[in-house]
């Protein structure tokens, strides 16, 4: 399993009228965690784009457990558990900063697209990178 951890401080723009993080923000937190995980692996998303590979989200899920509030620090735990083919699934867990309370779980599934916007297999170099780190 490949695991990355990203800390995020909740700002007012992340919260709703009740003072808790608005439900759509969790997907933005997932994106931040995913972006940092790929960067830490040595394959930033921007490099894939330069090589003509897109990685759009084709499915997203979040199960909310407990809502963080303004100024809380949360930890996004992003995980890759399988070698990608034409899709990759990334799982997420959100915790409070000391990582004692689980706030949410979820996942995103992404498909690999070529320059023409057609589905393709994951780049060999990316697959090799995942294999080395799993």
Q: Tokens for 115?
A: 């320059």
Of 16, 72, 91, 116, which one is the catalytic site residue?
A: 16
- Who contacts 32 (Cβ-Cβ below 8 Å, separation ≥6)? 6, 8, 76
Query: 107 φ, ψ to 5°?
Result: -155, 160
Please confirm, yes or no, whether 47 is among the known catalytic residues. no
Q: How far is the C-alpha of 84 from the C-alpha of 67, rounded, in Å? A: 32
Distance between CA atoms of residues 83 and 112, nearest Å: 13
- Show which residues are catalytic: 16
């Amino acid at each position: 399993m490949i695991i990355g951890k990203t800390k995020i401080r909740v700002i007012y723009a992340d919260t709703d009228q009740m003072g808790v993080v608005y439900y759509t923000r969790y997907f933005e937190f997932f994106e931040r965690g995913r972006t940092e995980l790929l960067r830490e692996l040595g394959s930033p998303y921007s490099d894939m784009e330069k090589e003509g590979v897109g990685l759009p989200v084709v499915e997203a899920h979040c199960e909310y457990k407990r809502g963080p509030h303004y100024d809380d620090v949360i930890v996004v735990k992003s995980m890759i558990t399988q070698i990608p083919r034409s899709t990759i699934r990334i799982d997420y867990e959100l915790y409070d900063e000391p990582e004692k309370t689980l706030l949410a779980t979820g996942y995103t599934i992404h498909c690999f697209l070529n320059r023409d916007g057609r589905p393709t297999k994951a780049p060999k170099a990316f697959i090799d990178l995942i294999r080395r780190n799993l």
